[in-house]
Amino acid sequence: MRRELSGIGASRGLAMGRARRHVVATPEVKKRHITPDEIPNELQRLHHAIAQVRQEMQRLRTQLHGTVSREMGELFELPALLLDDPQLLQALDADIRDGLCSADYALHRQRNRIARVFLEMDDAYFGSRIDDIDQVIERILGALGQTDMSVHGASGEILIANRIAPAEIILLQSQGVLAIVTTGGNTHSHSAILARSLQLPLVVAAPLALHSLDDGDWVMVDGSLGQVIRFPDAADLEQHRQRLVSHRQQSLDLNRLRHAPTRSRDGHDIQLWANAESAEDIRHAHTLGATGIGLYRTEFLFLGRQELPDEETQFQAYRALASELDGRCGTLRTLDLGADKAASTGLALHREENPALGLRGIRLALARPDIFRPQLRAILRASAYGRLRILLPMVSNGEEIHATRQLLTELGQELRDEGHPIASEIPLGAMIEVPAAALTLPDFIQTLDFLSIGTNDLAQYLLAADRNNEHLTDLYTPLHPALLRLLADIIQIGKRQQCPVAICGEIAADPRYTRLLLALGLEEFSLHPGNLLEVRQIICDSDLGELRSQAPTLLHAPDRTAIEAWLTEFATP
């Protein structure tokens, strides 16, 4: 019998196939003590299981490619750090040797200890990362019990689950799964972002899915509408066919926009920058007619290493980027890692109670000149080979900009004295992702050449809400009045000072919000190349004058409901 289930569309696309149910359950661990004679065997079991999971996580990481790999690599950082943490490994060994705990029970005890530490930080970000820890612990427990804790799918299936981890999405797509439906989750989670990057349809927050669907049921999924239909009827099937034809035609229409100008219907030119981290990504962006590279993350040079990359290593990488730009401009964001994310490279500092709000981004760079100076020297040297800009992350005040400019002047002269050619001028910009920087921007904007708004972090810090916490879905939203008003203020301040402003957060790549951002006055987007053509089409079909005339109504909206009503009336693609 036909049944329609409602959820929230988290990743667009259409799919139809057989349902496969999967309920993620935490393995039950019973308190068990061992005899002294069993210690060697338990230690061997534990170390073998950890090594097995480490290999699994590395294999999944290698399945990511290009920009998706760079953008989603952080999902694997915490598991990697956990599996290599000497304090954790020593504590597990001590529980087995001194506490005579079984390997399973020792792992259970240490998981609870880590969770208590994270929860005591009273920070939403780290509270949410407990889920990441649990996924790793569950894999190790599965390896200890020689049971497979991973989710599996088959080609042509629709997976129905209570939750899904980002690493599992990679595996499922490689197995041919057509779409995923979860009873929990939200549209801003890492899993949802990854599904969108991989163009895998995903519907979240469909609470009745596991209760209403059985293995083998024929299911139709619309990731745009958040619609799940069990046993679709003839009308559903006809509508599905029509949508597929429509999507195919849209794809053909988008391809015709590859070399078209990004110009609104009433003649306003908009800049579309691309996010890229490899020569392949840059070439792809060129074929799509991107203005340039709006965000090049340099962290990948620092991760997965046993030592810090030296100046020459970084110079070679940045020169390769510059040589691929073909006259366009490339924006290098300086290191945006905290000490908690790259301890194996030598970045580890004293233990921080709350690394998410601690020494990261420009704060870490200025505190560690042994890291910052080689990176800036490498960028300055590479500037002789193409048009480069420097973007500083996690800026809080003008003093950080001033200190960086002084350092750039000093290093520039140093390099010239050494005989290195460098560009005569390299624009310096700041990421606006800390509310303090946004609110005091008029005090230091004159020291900057451009701005890039990181809406993901700005929203989290402004709303005190973690995007990965499904209980905060209604709070963490780009449609919060406070966020929209702050974005509008930043954009207008930039215009008054003739300082270009781009948005590089996820909202810039979401076609649902393109017209909203245009109404706020945005003229530069920095986004994943996969969304560039669709955003361009919406811009070309938009009347900026009309949208901006409606901006006062948008900015006076008292709540999310009113903003959604504005979107429905004025900004629906």
Set 284, 499, 504, 528: catalytic member: 504
CA distance 356 to 126: 8
**For residue 269, what are the contacts with CB-CB under 8 A and spacing of at least 6?**
261, 262, 263
Give me the helices (H) in 464-528, please: 481-496, 514-519
* pLDDT recorded at residue 166: 78
For the question of residue 504 being annotated catalytic, the response is: yes
Question: Per-residue pLDDT for the chain (573 aa), expressed as one digit of tens each?
Answer: 899 999 999 898 999 999 999 887 666 788 888 999 999 999 999 999 888 888 877 776 666 554 455 445 555 555 666 677 777 788 899 999 999 999 999 988 888 877 766 555 444 444 445 566 777 787 788 888 755 556 667 788 999 998 887 778 878 888 899 999 999 888 877 788 788 878 899 999 999 999 999 999 999 999 989 999 999 999 999 998 898 888 778 777 778 888 899 999 999 999 999 988 677 778 888 999 999 999 998 887 876 566 789 999 999 999 989 989 988 999 999 998 754 444 444 554 445 556 567 778 999 999 999 999 999 999 999 999 999 999 999 999 999 999 999 999 999 999 999 999 999 999 999 999 999 999 999 999 999 999 999 998 899 899 988 766 667 777 888 999 999 999 999 999 999 999 999 999 889 999 999 999 999 999 999 998 888 999 999 999 999 999 999 999 999 999 999 999 999 998 776
Select from 192, 120, 90, 64 the least CA-distant residue to 510: 192
- Contact by Cβ (8 Å): 335, 365: yes
* pLDDT recorded at residue 492: 97
Q: Which of 371-407 are b and which e, b meaning 16 or more Cβ less than 10 Å from the residue's Cβ? A: bbbbbbbbbbbbbebbbbbbbbbbbbebebbeebeeb
Set 188, 190, 240, 286: catalytic member: 190
* pLDDT recorded at residue 538: 95
Select from 118, 115, 92 the least CA-distant residue to 352: 118
* pLDDT recorded at residue 354: 60
Taking the CB of residue 367, how many other CB atoms lie within 10 A of it?
A: 12
CA distance 76 to 78: 6
> What pTM value is reported for the model?
0.70
Half-sphere exposure of 448 (CA within 13 A, CB side): 30
* pLDDT recorded at residue 236: 92
* pLDDT recorded at residue 419: 96
* pLDDT recorded at residue 204: 93
- Contact by Cβ (8 Å): 4, 227: yes
Own/partner pairs, 249-253, CB within 8 angstroms, 24+ separation: 253/537
For the question of residue 284 being annotated catalytic, the response is: no
Q: Burial-class residue 109 by CB neighbours within 10 Å (0-12, 13-18, 19+).
A: middle
- Contact by Cβ (8 Å): 365, 339: no
**For residue 256, what are the contacts with CB-CB under 8 A and spacing of at least 6?**
none
* pLDDT recorded at residue 344: 45
CA distance 539 to 513: 11
* pLDDT recorded at residue 31: 85
